[in-house]
Amino acid sequence: MTVNHTAEVSGRGQLERLIEVSTWDRAEILIVPHPTWNHPGLDGGFRMLRLPGVRTILYLETTAEGSVIVAPALIEEHASLLGDLRALALPPDPSRALIDEVRGECT
Protein backbone atom coordinates (compact mmCIF):
# COMPACT_ATOMS: atom_id res chain seq x y z
CA MET A 1 0.00 0.00 0.00
CA THR A 2 1.41 3.42 -0.93
CA VAL A 3 0.80 6.23 1.54
CA ASN A 4 1.64 9.78 0.44
CA HIS A 5 3.25 11.40 3.48
CA THR A 6 3.63 14.80 1.73
CA ALA A 7 -0.04 15.32 0.82
CA GLU A 8 -2.14 17.98 2.55
CA VAL A 9 -3.84 15.18 4.47
CA SER A 10 -1.09 12.64 4.78
CA GLY A 11 -0.24 9.26 6.18
CA ARG A 12 -2.57 8.39 9.02
CA GLY A 13 -5.16 11.00 7.95
CA GLN A 14 -5.39 9.51 4.44
CA LEU A 15 -5.93 6.06 5.85
CA GLU A 16 -8.54 7.23 8.37
CA ARG A 17 -10.43 8.90 5.52
CA LEU A 18 -10.32 5.70 3.45
CA ILE A 19 -11.67 3.71 6.40
CA GLU A 20 -14.48 6.25 6.82
CA VAL A 21 -15.39 6.24 3.12
CA SER A 22 -15.31 2.43 3.04
CA THR A 23 -18.35 2.39 5.36
CA TRP A 24 -20.51 4.49 3.02
CA ASP A 25 -23.34 2.72 1.19
CA ARG A 26 -22.30 4.14 -2.19
CA ALA A 27 -18.57 3.53 -1.87
CA GLU A 28 -16.49 0.41 -1.97
CA ILE A 29 -12.75 0.29 -1.40
CA LEU A 30 -11.03 -2.90 -2.46
CA ILE A 31 -7.29 -3.43 -2.07
CA VAL A 32 -5.35 -5.44 -4.65
CA PRO A 33 -2.73 -7.27 -2.54
CA HIS A 34 0.85 -6.05 -2.84
CA PRO A 35 2.31 -9.32 -4.25
CA THR A 36 0.04 -8.87 -7.30
CA TRP A 37 2.60 -6.79 -9.19
CA ASN A 38 1.37 -7.38 -12.71
CA HIS A 39 -2.33 -6.59 -12.77
CA PRO A 40 -4.57 -4.89 -15.33
CA GLY A 41 -4.97 -1.68 -13.32
CA LEU A 42 -1.37 -0.54 -13.72
CA ASP A 43 -2.03 1.32 -16.98
CA GLY A 44 -3.77 4.18 -15.17
CA GLY A 45 -6.85 5.09 -13.24
CA PHE A 46 -10.35 5.10 -14.59
CA ARG A 47 -13.86 5.74 -13.38
CA MET A 48 -17.14 4.49 -14.77
CA LEU A 49 -20.31 6.49 -14.28
CA ARG A 50 -23.47 4.52 -14.96
CA LEU A 51 -26.52 6.64 -15.67
CA PRO A 52 -29.48 4.22 -15.64
CA GLY A 53 -31.61 4.53 -18.74
CA VAL A 54 -29.15 6.94 -20.34
CA ARG A 55 -25.58 5.66 -20.80
CA THR A 56 -22.33 4.72 -19.16
CA ILE A 57 -19.45 7.19 -19.29
CA LEU A 58 -15.81 6.22 -18.85
CA TYR A 59 -13.20 8.65 -17.54
CA LEU A 60 -9.59 7.61 -18.21
CA GLU A 61 -6.63 9.14 -16.39
CA THR A 62 -3.02 9.18 -17.53
CA THR A 63 -0.02 11.01 -16.14
CA ALA A 64 -0.59 13.74 -18.73
CA GLU A 65 -4.36 14.13 -19.01
CA GLY A 66 -7.84 12.77 -18.47
CA SER A 67 -10.36 11.82 -21.15
CA VAL A 68 -14.12 11.28 -21.17
CA ILE A 69 -15.02 8.24 -23.28
CA VAL A 70 -18.49 7.29 -24.55
CA ALA A 71 -17.43 4.65 -27.12
CA PRO A 72 -19.26 1.41 -26.23
CA ALA A 73 -16.30 -0.85 -27.14
CA LEU A 74 -13.92 0.97 -24.78
CA ILE A 75 -16.54 1.06 -22.04
CA GLU A 76 -17.07 -2.71 -22.35
CA GLU A 77 -13.30 -3.30 -22.32
CA HIS A 78 -12.94 -1.33 -19.09
CA ALA A 79 -15.99 -2.99 -17.53
CA SER A 80 -14.21 -6.31 -18.13
CA LEU A 81 -10.99 -4.85 -16.71
CA LEU A 82 -12.88 -3.75 -13.61
CA GLY A 83 -14.17 -7.30 -13.20
CA ASP A 84 -10.60 -8.63 -13.47
CA LEU A 85 -9.41 -6.18 -10.80
CA ARG A 86 -12.28 -7.09 -8.48
CA ALA A 87 -11.32 -10.76 -8.82
CA LEU A 88 -7.75 -9.95 -7.67
CA ALA A 89 -8.79 -7.65 -4.83
CA LEU A 90 -9.49 -8.44 -1.22
CA PRO A 91 -13.19 -8.24 -0.25
CA PRO A 92 -14.38 -5.02 1.48
CA ASP A 93 -13.94 -6.11 5.12
CA PRO A 94 -10.40 -7.54 4.68
CA SER A 95 -9.48 -4.46 2.62
CA ARG A 96 -10.67 -2.21 5.45
CA ALA A 97 -8.75 -4.36 7.97
CA LEU A 98 -5.56 -4.01 5.92
CA ILE A 99 -5.98 -0.23 5.74
CA ASP A 100 -6.49 -0.19 9.51
CA GLU A 101 -3.38 -2.33 10.03
CA VAL A 102 -1.25 0.03 7.93
CA ARG A 103 -2.81 3.01 9.75
CA GLY A 104 -1.57 1.50 13.02
CA GLU A 105 1.96 1.44 11.60
CA CYS A 106 1.89 5.16 10.69
CA THR A 107 3.36 7.70 13.06
Residue pLDDT, tens place only, 8-61 = 666 888 999 999 999 999 889 999 887 666 666 677 788 889 888 888 999 998
CA distance linking residue 33 with residue 91, whole number of Å: 11
Q: How many other C-beta atoms can be found within 10 angstroms of the C-beta atom of residue 83?
A: 10
Of residues 10 and 72, more confidence is placed in: 72
CA distance linking residue 5 with residue 101, whole number of Å: 17
Q: How many other C-beta atoms can be found within 10 angstroms of the C-beta atom of residue 89?
A: 19
Q: In the prediction, which pLDDT does 70 show?
A: 92
- Using DSSP, state whether 97 is helix, strand or coil: helix
Q: In the prediction, which pLDDT does 88 show?
A: 87
State residue 101 phi and psi, 5-degree precision: -60, -45
CA distance linking residue 11 with residue 75, whole number of Å: 34
Size (the chain), residues: 107
Q: In the prediction, which pLDDT does 12 show?
A: 85
Q: In the prediction, which pLDDT does 9 show?
A: 63
Q: In the prediction, which pLDDT does 39 show?
A: 65
pTM above 0.85? no
Question: Is pLDDT above 70 for 2?
Answer: no
Q: Exposed, middle or buried, 92 (CB in 10 Å: 0-12/13-18/19+)?
A: middle
